[in-house]
Structure 1
Amino acid sequence: MARDDQFRFEYEPGVLRFGTGCVDALSDELAQQGFDRALVVCGSTVGSTPEVIDPVKRGLGERLAGVFAETTASKRLSTAVDGLEAMRACDADVLVGLGGGSSLDVASVIAVLDASDREPAEVGQELAETGSISVPDGSLPPIVAVPTTLAGAEQSQVAGVTASPTNGLVDEPASGGVSDRRLMPRAVAYDPALFATTPKPILAASAMNGFDKGLETLYARNATPITDATAMRGLRLLRDGLEALGERSVDENLLQPIAEGIVLVQYGVSRPGETTLSIIHAFGHGLTRTYDVQQGTAHAIVAPRVLRYLFDTVDARRDLLAEALAPDHDGDPADAVVEAVEDVRKALDLPSRLRDVDGPEPEAFPAVAETILEDSFVGNAPPGLEPTAEEIEAVLQDAY
């Protein structure tokens, strides 16, 4: 894939802390950054699991102002509204998103709501009409992330959000996202001991999502030598680590290199005004925003098929991908890449066909294909790729 040798790389991640027990230093990190009172934002399971919540509470010490344990995978706007009330009730000046990507997304929306003087129904109307929520000027409450899954959502300035009529904020179901450089977490604590508390099936599904970030970062239109280096190193760690995850019981030693890989594959993915996420993630959105399919599961099913479609159409930097995933291959690099991705899916024991999950039936594929084509991430597909609805449908048919 030919690429212009000129590039601009603007990336402002927060402080990255890594290692078993690193959450013990949360209070020190908040103190160094000038934050005094933290509201932990998490789901009910995380909030009621001592192995997860207790180390974070101890790490925050006297800086713990409260725990809001009401997030769900749906990332509801109404949940963020309740979280804002909790934040103000305990006078918190920093939000600590603990758990999966949904808790971090809700924390981000809480931050946006706190900086706005609009009523929740007005925000819901904007989400329904535009698919986004505008971020006001000025300062936003800072966010600190403590991930316990491997999806790689914590080095991001983007958050997803949905709204349902049952909460009175919208007339029809709505979904979309919010993006602003001020939403990038000020610090992230990667503690393998906390990852090890997550059930293996959840880790496996989330890992497929994180793994695909590395794939897409290499073939994205805005790839850079910097992200090439981090994504390739991350993919190598994940290829070996995720296959081991499928074979062994979960512990912090097993998860150490996997967590390192997740740190690396998302480094530089979410940048001001751009992202390296591409067509695999667009497929994931098309399947999960309308159907009850988990994001990582959707990725496991479509990633090998999307890659085969890319390689049949454009170069998509197959040699670089093969160097990262199958350095000892002696045949077609495209075949080697697809086989390596399939090996990871098999090791994680994730579904391989749409017919085996609660997804769309073939008669719905034309509508799903249109949704995928309308996703903004398609615009970041490899140079030379101009997908059509018929081509997208063909990939879905193959995945069925």
Structure 2
Amino acid sequence: MDDRYSLEYRPATIRHGSGVVAALEDELDRRGRSRALVVTGSTVGSTPAVVDPVTAGIGGHLTGVFDEVGAGKRLGTACVAAEQVQAWNVDALVSLGGGSSLDAAKIVSVLAAHDDARAAAERMAEQKRITVPNGPLTDIFAVPTTLPGADLSQGAGVTLSMDTGDVPASERPSGGVSDPRLMPEAVFHDPALLAETPTDVLSRSAMNGFDKGVEMLYAREHTPITDGTAIRGLRLLQGSLPELPDAPSESALSAALRGIAATQYGVSTPRTYRASIIHSFGHALSQNYPIQQGVAHAIAAPHVLTYLFERVDGRRDLLAEAFDVDAEGPEAAAEAVVDAVADVRDGLELPAQLRTVEDAEKTDFPQLAQAVIDDSFMAAAPAGLDADQAGIESVFAAMW
């Protein structure tokens, strides 16, 4: 038995609790930062119940609020913010909102580290590649208002276009970046802010974060440490996520945030990202249809797990332990895990069939299957899984 493993991980400081954003100024002071720019989207930026506690928490260290981030995470938009960082001598970025705001803040940090942010952005757009310069980057402090589990990550994605407008998802040239310096310095998990997020938005994002915990257990670079946090996180999420669609209590929101923190702990480390085949299917769907990543996961996850368990063990015993299902034998365990994931999906009131997605056609299956096979996250798939075109197409047929 080969029990060797490696885990190099320096996560953000996590502050959890209702009203915890009031400690933003203290955290900035502790790290010697005094000029903070809030990076967020227009919806959050125009919602006083969300943005006001954050700006108040930053206090006299606030230099401004940049509220132009869109779902497309355009490179051109990040460039505008980076120019503000340079002009105002900003030394801290406070991302406020969902995964798009956090990704945008990371790209802003990268661009602002170049002598000429606009020239750097234009070069990256032309080369279709994000380049991170040597030296320090602007520190990031994350205040998530959704649950995709992106805030303990050193990676980010962006649409590689200088245009600040929007185009269909299938036409967006996208790029990613990963660097330990992009791990947030601190994360503020505040249930009071989460309570202001529309429940449908919470549900969609939660499915994405939930699936990170599922995949942490069978991803190729699993470790005993990430096994433990993922199991604990999945138990918290299994109990709390079904409450999200119906005016969730603060205790449910707190449990969901604690579960997301546990399931994403260690997912993003140097040279390794512990998300796998479900995320590859999610990318294929969200990059070809006008759907959010969490919706793509909701449709795909149970069928992807069925496919996985038909071909490899997939550490189904640990997944069964996480979902506290009593099943005798490997086949029963696999079936119980798939049912548990589907139950969470249904509890979140998310779509279950691909046919409900706008523009989806059965004739797309070959193209979608190739996108899954080519996706970089497939490198983390369990050992022994041979993802062939016909097999992947059969998964899309099952989810139709």
1:87-166 alignment runs, 5 A limit = 87-117=85-115, 120=118, 123-127=121-125, 129-130=127-128, 132-164=129-161, 166=163
Partner of 2:194: 195
Is the 8 Å Cα contact of residues 311 and 385 (structure 2) preserved in structure 1?
Answer: yes
- Partners of 2:154 and 2:225 lie apart in 1 by 19
1:254 matched to which residue of 2?
252
Q: SS of the counterpart of 1:159?
A: strand
Residue 377, structure 1, aligned to residue 377, structure 2: yes
How high is the TM-score relative to the length of structure 2?
0.95
Residue equivalent to 1:232 = 231
Q: Secondary structure at the match of 1:156?
A: coil
Q: Secondary structure at the match of 1:78?
A: helix
For 2:69 and 2:213, how far apart are their aligned partners in 1?
Answer: 27
Matches within 5 A, 1:8-27: 8-27=6-25
Q: Distance between the aligned counterparts of 2:49 and 2:8, measured in 1? A: 37
Tell me the distance in 2 between the aligned counterparts of 1:173 and 1:80: 16
1:319-358 aligned at under 5 Å gives the runs 319-329=317-327, 332-358=332-358
In structure 1, what is the equivalent of residue 168 of structure 2?
none
**C-alpha distance in 2, partners of 1:167/1:15?**
33
Distance 1:113 1:28, change over 3 A: same
Q: 1:369, CA displacement in angstroms?
A: 1.3
The equivalent residue for 1:210 is 209
Which segment drifts farther, 367-376 or 137-146?
Answer: 367-376
1:165–1:56 CA distance, 2 compared to 1 (3 A): closer
Q: 1:29 aligns with which of 10, 19, 27?
A: 27
Where do 5+ consecutive residues of structure 1 fail to align? Answer: none
Partner Cα separation in structure 2 for residue 43 and residue 296 of structure 1:
19
Q: Aligned with 2:244: secondary structure? A: helix
Q: Is the 8 A contact 1:239 1:344 kept in 2?
A: yes
Deviations 1:196-215 (A, max 9, x none): 11000000000000000000
Residue type of the alignment partner of 2:186: A
1:128–1:383: structure 2 CA closer, same or farther, 3 Å change rule?
farther
TM-score, structure 1 normalization: 0.95
Q: Is the 8 A contact 1:314 1:385 kept in 2?
A: yes
Provide Cα deviations, 1:328-368, integer angstroms capped at 9, x if missing partner: 34570001000001101111110001110225311122111
Any conservation in 1 of the 2:325–2:337 contact (CA below 8 Å)?
no
Give unmatched runs, 5+ long, in structure 2: 166-170
Change (3 A) 1:180 1:394: same
Distance of 2:244 and 2:173 partners within structure 1: 36
SS in 2 for 1:58: helix
SS of the counterpart of 1:326?
A: coil
2:300 to 281, 299, 302: 302
Distance in 2 separating the partners of 1:187 and 1:14 = 5
Query: Quick one: distance in 2 between partners of 1:166 and 1:53?
Result: 27
8 Å CA contact 1:65–1:91 kept in 2: the answer is: no
Distance apart, 1:315 and its partner CA: 0.2
State how far apart, in whole Å, the 1-side matches of 2:72 and 2:84 are.
Answer: 19
AA aligned opposite 2:147:
L
Tell me: CA distance 1:315–1:183, structure 2 relative to 1, closer, same or farther (3 Å): same
Contact kept in structure 2, 1:216 and 1:280, CA below 8 Å = yes
Q: Which residue is 1:51 aligned to?
A: 49
Higher mean alpha-carbon deviation, 313-322 vs 366-375, is at 366-375
Deviation at 1:301, TM superposition (A): 0.3
Distance in 1 between residues matched to 2:219 and 2:164, nearest whole Å: 38
Aligned to 1:314: 312
State the SS of the aligned residue for 1:42.
Answer: strand
Deviation at 1:18, TM superposition (A): 0.7
Matched residues in 1 for 2:126 and 2:308: separation? Answer: 33
CA RMSD for the aligned pairs?
A: 1.8
Q: 2 CA distance for matches of 1:201 and 1:167?
A: 26
Q: Find out whether 1:85 has 2:87 as its counterpart.
A: no
Alpha carbons 1:209, 1:299 under 8 Å: kept:
yes
User: Is the contact between residue 83 and residue 118 of structure 2 (CA under 8 Å) also seen in structure 1?
Assistant: no
C-alpha distance after superposition, 1:354-388 (max 9, x if no partner):
11022531112211111111111001101110101
In percent, how many aligned pairs have the same letter?
Answer: 53
1:298 positional shift:
0.1
Which letter does structure 2 place at the counterpart of 1:21?
G
Please say if residues 217 and 277 of structure 1, whose CA atoms lie closer than 8 Å, have aligned partners that are also in contact: yes
Could you give the per-residue CA deviations for residues 125-166 of structure 1, whole angstroms, max 9, x where no partner exists?
A: 545645x30111111111010000000000011101003474
Q: Encode CA deviations 1:304-341: one digit per residue, 9 max, x unaligned.
A: 00000000010000111011013334570001000001
Task: Work out the CA distance in 1 between the residues paired with 2:124 and 2:369.
Answer: 26
The residue that corresponds to 1:279 in the other structure is 277
Distance in 1, Cα, partners of 2:115 & 2:87: 17
| Residue type of the alignment partner of 1:368 | L
Q: 1:66 to 1:121 in 2, by over 3 A?
A: same
CA spacing shift, 1:348–1:106, aligned 2, 3 Å:
same
| Structure-2 residue corresponding to 1:389 | 389
Counterpart CA distance in 2 for 1:251 and 1:90 is 40
SS in 2 for 1:343: helix
- Tell me how far apart the structure 2 counterparts of residues 96 and 105 of structure 1 sit (CA, whole Å): 12
Farther-moved stretch of structure 1 (378-387 vs 323-332):
323-332
* Cα separation, 2, equivalents of 1:165 and 1:25: 35
Contact 1:293 1:359 in 2 (8 A): no
Work out whether residues 127 and 175 of structure 1, in 8 Å CA contact, stay in contact via their aligned partners in 2: no
